[in-house]
Structure 1
Amino acid sequence: MNYLKEINAFFDEKDLNSLSASASLLWYVLMQFNNKTGWKEEFTVPTSSVLVKLGLGENAFLRARKELETKGYITFKAGTKHQAPTYRMISQVKASAMDEWGDIQGDEPGVEEKVEQGVKQGALFKRKEERKKERVGGARMQPHTFYEQNIGMLTPFMAEKLTDWCDRLTNELVMEAMKIAVRHNKLFFHYCEGILKRWEKAGVQSIVDVRRNEKQPADNKEERQSEAKRLIEEYRKERYA
């Protein structure tokens, strides 16, 4: 495997075959271990070693590993009492070349292949443009980074909680909840989680839904204020108990 080509191909493929933040991080960690083995077709690595590199809990790791397998980035065989799990990285360079050119066999792509190629390239361009709109100060801010820079220290427990909410909703909504907390000077995640639970219950799926939710009648606004006060009181009881 060519490390640099694989990373570039993974970045492009991920735009079309989206991955959660924890699954993306696990792919990079497994690539590092595969690199240390000299790019063996199959390699073994203890789960404990992977967890140390990831900085996430075991449940988050298992979800991420299953996601990578389901979406065709890796295959693995579960370990035993005396044997660590065995992994095989599926080359993204080959998959990327096949999607882009359609001529691995040296054949000139036909009209249908060219149309499909154009659709995929258009989808890739659209996603990249959407990501540009999400950039903050010229660099895209990730939920974990935003938390660490604006709310508090990112512990493994907190990282796993953030990842879980990103999987349940979206990175964009988790970011928005934290921005609301910062604007109101509520620098604790319990407050953000209250917002996310309310959005999840209301079926919010995008920032557009959030804006629409904010335009609800005044009685709903009073309910939200009451809920916010309740969350603050719960946090105070937990902190000073």
Structure 2
Amino acid sequence: MNYLKEIIAFQDEVELNELSASASLLWYKLMHFNNKTGWKKEFTVPTSAVLVKSGLSESSFLRARKELEAKGYITFEAGTRNQAPTYHMISQVKEQLADATVEELTEEVKEGVKEETEVLFKRKEKRRKETTAGDRMQPHTFYEQNIGMLTPFMAEKITDWCERLSDELVMEAMKIAGRHNKLFFTYCEGILKRWEKAGIRTLTDVKRIEERPVEKKEDRQSEAKRLIEEYRKERYA
């Protein structure tokens, strides 16, 4: 791929077919990673690395990735336990650009990149201020700081649950695990599975469940013990 031509073609395409700011930002970051690999046809990159570099939340990242795939900018395969997700960048360079020289397009590209850089800077600055002001921590970051090492496999698992339920519920499940000193994701996942089965979709729903009579809490304690036993068997098998 020709990095310069791809950027020009991408900007031209976005002018004709609207793309969300999150999807546009994700495209630039994936192109950056692709460039680092020497423009391999397919390349792998951990979701956690993309989140850090882009500053996107998990839910925004998932929506942006789906949008890029749906509109023909990328294809991807989800990761496995030992493998990060695999991406393929679909070239946007049209044949009519083949005869255009780099010199003729340099100024236009510089201006476009400058504008894009300013937008990204403002977005990151806003996010930094929100974080400094006490805005909530993201699930991946919370896990890494409070539960354990964030491997590519674990990052994909957390991302999957954020998509199935929400960032807030995944965070709440990890907070509950922390309060009970159950610092393993199997415990969190047990909570999330129970909430999913019960149709829990908001923190208000969680509060309602937690305020049920004592016998229901005892049932939950039994479920927690069962999950712990499953974890021990899994760990020491």
The TM tier, using the shorter chain, reads 0.5 to 0.7
> Who is 1:86 aligned against?
90
Q: In the alignment, which of 185, 196, 213 is matched to residue 217 of structure 1? A: 213
Change (3 A) 1:211 1:233: same
- The CA distance in 1 between the partners of 2:171 and 2:158, in whole Å, is 10
8 A Cα contact 2:69 2:75, kept in partner: no
SS in 2 for 1:220: helix
- The CA distance in 1 between the partners of 2:132 and 2:204, in whole Å, is 19
> Who is 1:46 aligned against?
41
> Who is 2:29 aligned against?
29
- The CA distance in 2 between the partners of 1:136 and 1:165, in whole Å, is 26
Change (3 A) 1:27 1:77: closer
> Who is 2:68 aligned against?
68
Change (3 A) 1:136 1:190: farther
- The CA distance in 2 between the partners of 1:149 and 1:77, in whole Å, is 32
SS in 1 for 2:73: strand
- Establish whether residue 164 from structure 1 lines up as the match of residue 183 from structure 2: no
- The CA distance in 2 between the partners of 1:88 and 1:30, in whole Å, is 14
Change (3 A) 1:34 1:186: closer
Task: Give the CA deviation at 1:30.
Answer: 1.9
8 A Cα contact 2:48 2:140, kept in partner: no
- The CA distance in 1 between the partners of 2:21 and 2:194, in whole Å, is 33
* Structure 1, gaps ≥5 residues long: 3-11, 37-43, 79-83, 94-127
- The CA distance in 2 between the partners of 1:45 and 1:199, in whole Å, is 41
Task: Give the CA deviation at 1:45.
Answer: 4.7
Change (3 A) 1:191 1:76: closer
8 A Cα contact 1:150 1:182, kept in partner: yes
Taking structure 1 as the reference length, what is the TM-score of the superposition?
0.56
> Who is 1:200 aligned against?
196
- The CA distance in 2 between the partners of 1:162 and 1:62, in whole Å, is 12
Q: Deviations over 1:122-161 (max 9, x none)?
A: xxxxxx9xxx6xx686254111110010011111111111
SS in 2 for 1:185: coil
8 A Cα contact 1:76 1:88, kept in partner: no
Change (3 A) 1:178 1:28: farther
- The CA distance in 2 between the partners of 1:166 and 1:222, in whole Å, is 27
- Establish whether residue 154 from structure 1 lines up as the match of residue 173 from structure 2: no
Change (3 A) 1:27 1:210: farther
Change (3 A) 1:136 1:240: farther
The alignment yields a C-alpha RMSD, in angstroms, of 4.2
Paired residue type of 1:149: Q
Task: State the aligned residue count.
Answer: 169
- The CA distance in 1 between the partners of 2:135 and 2:62, in whole Å, is 30
Paired residue type of 1:213: I
Paired residue type of 2:146: N
- Establish whether residue 181 from structure 1 lines up as the match of residue 177 from structure 2: yes
SS in 2 for 1:147: helix
Q: Deviations over 1:79-115 (max 9, x none)?
A: xxxxx652449xxx9xxxxxxxxxxxxxxxxxxxxxx
Paired residue type of 1:199: W
